[in-house]
Amino acid sequence: MEIDKRKLNANRHFSEQIRRRVVREFRAGRYTVKELSHLYQVSTTSIYKWIHKYSPADAPHIKVVEMADSTDQKVNDLQQRIAELEQALGQKQIKVDFYEKLLEKAKEQYHIDLKKSSSGS
């Protein structure tokens, strides 16, 4: 016997505290409406209603517009940021390797251990 999920979800009730938390998470930019829908297992329509109902009093006329591709764009932006950070990390590692090789050559040529003398020992 298969259970109809719509009937199961039709009788669910979310407390005001949960509704407000969902709205805060959306307004803070942590999740999209679609992500919150999956996370809390509630319809996107309900979430849009909550956003309208629990928006701050100074902006009761807010219209929530979220593009269908916003989740994809968010993922693409994060992937681009990761690539930028990986590149920056790689450049820093090249510098560290260069400086270590430079210290090693200085020790060989001048018989001075710059690592020890720079550590304050």
Among 84, 117, 82, 86, residue whose Cα is nearest residue 103: 117
For 17-51, write each residue's pLDDT tens digit. 999 999 888 888 888 888 898 889 999 899 888 88
Provide the pLDDT for residue 67. 59
pLDDT at 96 over 50: yes
- Say how many C-beta atoms besides its own lie within 10 A of residue 50's C-beta: 22
Tell me the pTM: 0.43
Measured over the CA atoms of residue 101, residue 103, residue 105 and residue 108, the dihedral's sign is negative
For 6-16, write each residue's pLDDT tens digit. 554 556 788 88
Provide the pLDDT for residue 11. 65
pLDDT band at 101 (very low <50, low <70, confident <90, very high): very high
